[in-house]
Amino acid sequence: MIWPNKALAGEPSSNGYVLFKTAILQSMNRELEACLESLKKFSRQKEYTSDESFIRLPYDENILETSVAAIKSAGEPELKNIVLIGIGGSSLGTKAVYKALEKSRDNLVKIDFLDQIDPREISKIADRLKKEPPEKSAIVIISKSGSTAEVRTNLSLLQKEISLREGYKIFKISGSKAFENIPGAALEIPKAIGGRFSIFSSVGTVPLGLSGINIVELFNGGMLGTKKSLEEEKGTLIAEISKIFENYNNGKYIYNIFFFNRELYALAEWYRQLIGESLGKESKGIFPSISEGSKDLHSLQQYFVGGMRNVQHEFLSVKGKNSYQEAILKAVLSTYDEEEIPYRNTVLESLDEKCIGEFMQRKMIEIVSLAHIMEINPFGQPDVDSYKKRIKDNLEDVCS
């Protein structure tokens, strides 16, 4: 997509520039309309035929039924602990949903996320597991390739602390026949689904369901997000994507996710990965950052207002969750309006499975559509894969 060039079309105030920009916007809107129509077709398919097939996951009753059956297989006694071994897209989506709900739900089973190699932390977790009968703990291993070095290393470190053959409830979620030497239930990730688009697959549904989170409502939210994005609020979505792209072309290369409820930190991390890995290719892309309101107003606000003005923002909060934070956010928005700093204000109606599922599905649709007009393939992460090829021998040297 070519953005208006002042040198060719004249100054922003000139008729030539205005006409050129209007034509470009109309063309871009048509492209976005076509992209969303294409995604709508994928949502109606019954097979996972391409990367865009992620959009049909919330509609897949088979995934839901398989996940529920796997969760029920855990049986009695009730779980006390869940250890999720995964990294990146194999962990961030689940963590986003779980951490958003953890503080407000007294009955959730604790999930420890092994998404970083830390032998001391693994020892602490293992010591806690040993205090309970093995059947009260679930180990969820997630790696689409089955060869992710960090996952393999953390699994090995945990196995040095406990024996997985002693009765632990084990779930292996992969796109290959990995971890065959480990007992437990095996669930597949559809081959066409990338990690950061996998929250509505068994990657998210199994650990979340085991913890006590309502995955049916999560799916309902995903379906609502699809309906709103592709039908009910399609015009609004197109306008918002166009504005992000316009800001990007005007030098706003940084996209700051500014969350105002601490429960949303992990959701912001998931969103950051979605933007960074989807758009950061071919020497293009928007750099995603995370800020916490109001704390980071006292470390970054000076730059946001008085600095290079190369940032566009999305404020993220929950309606009625914290009146003090809402008052501060209102003041910030007023300042940004006055200073003409570009922002979006996203307010979740409530902090529950349905609203979170809707948000995540809408963001996946949005970023795929934004990549389309940026002429970037939003799927895959070739430059992450290049480091993965080099890491295996290094970690084996450390472990030996």
Each residue of 377-395: pLDDT tens digit? 999 988 887 776 677 666 6
pLDDT of residue 8: 47
pLDDT of residue 9: 46
Class of domain 51-213: alpha beta
Look up residue 137 and give its amino acid.
Answer: S
pLDDT of residue 331: 98
Q: Are 190 and 52 in contact (CB under 8 A)?
A: no
Split at pLDDT 50, 70, 90, the class of 2 is low
Residue 250, number of CB atoms within 10 A of its CB:
13
Residue 379, number of CB atoms within 10 A of its CB:
18
Domain 224-382 falls in which CATH fold? Rossmann fold (3.40.50)
Mean pLDDT of 18-24: 68
Split at pLDDT 50, 70, 90, the class of 28 is confident
Concatenating the DSSP letter of every residue in 228-261 gives IIIIITHHHHHHHHHHHHHHHHTT--EEEEEESS
Residue 286, number of CB atoms within 10 A of its CB:
23
List pLDDT tens digits, range 66-101: 999 999 988 877 899 999 999 999 999 999 999 999
Q: What is the mean pLDDT of the chain?
A: 92
List pLDDT tens digits, range 41-75: 999 998 999 999 999 999 999 999 999 999 998 88
Nearest to 264 by CA among 98, 87, 85: 98
**Sequence ranges of the domains in the chain:** 51-213, 224-382
Dihedrals phi, psi of 140, to nearest 5 degrees: -110, 115
